[in-house]
């Protein structure tokens, strides 16, 4: 008796500002993907413009069967699945539907405040930029900027990173 391949929602961790590209790429591959967007007014020096920004920075959601995981990871810009307790985190269908319904409402606005932040002494990995794949230790941090100590060539460098460039080890 063949087991039906059950599709579940998973969150992907992406390169910064690649969310829309990855969503489009996954859809072209025939993979059910969703990058929640919300309209945001941006101010430039000469004008204001309403643009669609990803709701979750560096995250895209996919609804896939176990057998599709490798194909998803081979998509340019995808860094990894978001893990919880050592396994790719499964997102409840109900939670995805709630976000979709809310975003469909007129003037819907959601503000994401990361619960994580980075704590002093926490070990991290840099996921973007010239220090990509380097590991370090948080000296101090907030939700926006994190000061990380990197060991390199027997020297200690202290580098300031945007929090979205980092992930905990």
Secondary structure E strands in 119-162: 123-126, 135-141, 145-152, 155-162
Q: Give how far Cα 1 sits from Cα of 4, 68, 166, Å.
A: 9, 21, 45
Q: Determine contact, residues 137/122, Cβ cutoff 8 Å.
A: yes
**Measuring CA to CA, which residue among 13, 67, 50 is closest to residue 35?**
13
What is the rounded radius of gyration, in angstroms, for the C-alpha atoms of the chain?
Answer: 18
The 8 Å CB, 24+ separation contacts for 34-40 are 34/60, 34/61, 34/62, 34/63, 34/96, 34/100, 35/60, 35/61, 36/61, 36/99, 36/100, 36/103, 37/103, 38/103, 38/108, 38/109, 38/110
**pLDDT tens, position by position, 66-107:** 999 999 999 999 999 988 888 898 888 988 888 888 777 766
For the record, the structure tokens of 40 come out as: 């945001």
Residue 1 banded pLDDT, cuts 50, 70, 90:
very low
**pLDDT tens, position by position, 120-169:** 888 887 776 667 777 888 877 766 667 777 765 555 666 777 777 777 77
Domains present along the chain, CATH in parentheses: 8-104 (3.30.70.940), 123-168 (2.30.30.30)
Residue 47 banded pLDDT, cuts 50, 70, 90:
confident
């Amino acid at each position: 008796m063949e087991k039906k391949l059950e599709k579940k929602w998973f969150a992907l961790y992406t390169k910064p500002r690649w969310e829309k590209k990855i969503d489009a790429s996954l859809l072209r591959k025939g993979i059910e993907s969703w990058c929640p967007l919300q309209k945001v007014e941006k101010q430039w020096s000469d004008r204001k413009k309403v643009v669609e920004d990803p709701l979750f920075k560096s995250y895209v959601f996919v609804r896939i069967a176990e057998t599709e995981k490798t194909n998803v990871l081979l998509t340019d810009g995808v860094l990894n699945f978001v893990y919880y307790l050592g396994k790719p985190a499964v997102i409840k269908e109900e939670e995805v539907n709630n976000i979709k319904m809310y975003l469909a409402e007129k003037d819907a606005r959601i503000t994401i405040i990361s619960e994580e932040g980075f704590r002093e002494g926490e070990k991290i990995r840099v996921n973007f930029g010239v220090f990509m794949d380097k590991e370090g230790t948080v000296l101090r941090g907030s939700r926006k900027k994190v000061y990380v100590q990197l060991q390199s060539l027997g020297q200690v460098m202290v580098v300031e990173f945007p929090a979205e460039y980092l992930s905990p080890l």
